[in-house]
Homo-oligomer: A and B are copies of this chain.
């Protein structure tokens, strides 16, 4: 980017102008470049790629700890596989990119560029799974998927190419599979809430919003942009739909041949990064949790008239050499003014800035400024190791508390349509009594959407909520409480 842009202070009101703030930040913080000459395809620059890799590692570690094995399946899926599961093909085929030629030769069978991998993986699962001894079978792949989105694309939120991890598990019994769905939600909580500080709720989706081919879907909804929902990882109970159509069967302990039960789970890394940026960021730019920050620490020398520049630089250099063994750290040696350096690194969300000036030099001290609080303190140089060991947790605790507080302030309840209309534009979730999340409830959901712009996100997972009153639209006895929200 031209220097005059790169060096301009970033200051956009995130609350008031979220879309501008978000797009400008992806660009100015050198996270994403949207200028690639195919619509909906992004270039992920190092700041995004490093954070994404670290988020992927968190998921892979957690999945492996829970018994999943990594695998790699082809990115192309022949049409014949793709068409086996009727609901699945209906759901995905409008969005499939098709490969039709190799060189100048027309291919015998056209190939789908995978929009999701069920139909690539299960054709192999059918060959591997023979006996109850092969179960449970838990595998995942870290990969890209491609979807020919017809809706307006938004960087990291809705792209035509995105990066995710997809786990596909197979079980002897329905019960085990249903337990896996809960485990997937625990993984989401463990990483997205506990390690990245992003609050969300898990909803059982209405039937018209479940994954194509699944029996039911739980989707995690976070809130960004003053209370619009962003969907984070979904987990799907596939029942025996795919095992029947793909011919996956096993001989059980009693010698009977049976179809197993399946689940799948797909954290999309770019969306998670977008949530981190959108939830924790402020008017000055990104605020990264320490663990996934592309750059964790920046060292800035402070020169005033008459100081010993060489001595300060040497101290910075030594610090840099020492810290880079353990951290992702930069030493800003550029000839910019300290103030310009500060906002440059603040924009990029670097959690810790270390300043070294004359006072620090002579007193063996360091000035440390935290990005998340802006708090500045001077510590003894020999305390630095200990300080850095703990600061990641403290930053995360602070970011999580702030995000939780904001999130919790956005949970509303409406008993009547009038109350609903008053709350509709506040941002956040509105809990209402509702008739049904099966297809017979769809007309009521359509009315809500049309009159308020709110969508039925589903029934809250984990906390039993007795239905009270009548459906807010049709007046039938409410079977459940659903959460409504506007999506970003």
Contacts and interface: CB of A to CB of B under 8 A. Distances in A.
A255 interface: no
Contact of A99 (B36, B113, B120): B113
A274 interface: no
Contact of A72 (B38, B43, B70, B74): B43
A73 B43 contact: yes
Interface in A125-173: 127, 130, 139, 144, 146, 148, 150, 161, 163
A91 interface: no
Interface string A215-234: 00000000000000000000
Interface stretch (A75-83, A275-283, A296-304, A375-383): A75-83
Contacts of A97: 76, 99, 101-102, 111
Identical copies in the complex: 2
A97 B101 CA distance: 6
Given A33-B124, A36-B124, A113-B113, A139 B72 contact: no
- Choose among A70, A72, A81, A93 the residue with the greatest number of B CB atoms under 10 Å from its CB: A72
Interface of A, helix, strand, loop or mixed by DSSP: mixed
A94 B99 contact: no
B74 A43 contact: yes
A42 B120 CA distance: 11
User: Is the interface on chain A under 10, 10 to 19, 20 to 34, or 35 or more residues?
Assistant: 35 or more
A250 to B, nearest CB: 13
Contact of A102 (B81, B96, B101): B96
16 contacts: A33-B124, A35-B124, A36-B73, A38-B74, A41-B76, A44-B71, A46-B69, A48-B72, A49-B70, A50-B70, A75-B146, A76-B161, A97-B111, A98-B99, A98-B102, A103-B150
Interface of A: 2, 33, 35-38, 41-46, 48-50, 52-53, 69-76, 78, 80-81, 93-105, 111, 113, 120, 123-124, 127, 130, 139, 144, 146, 148, 150, 161, 163
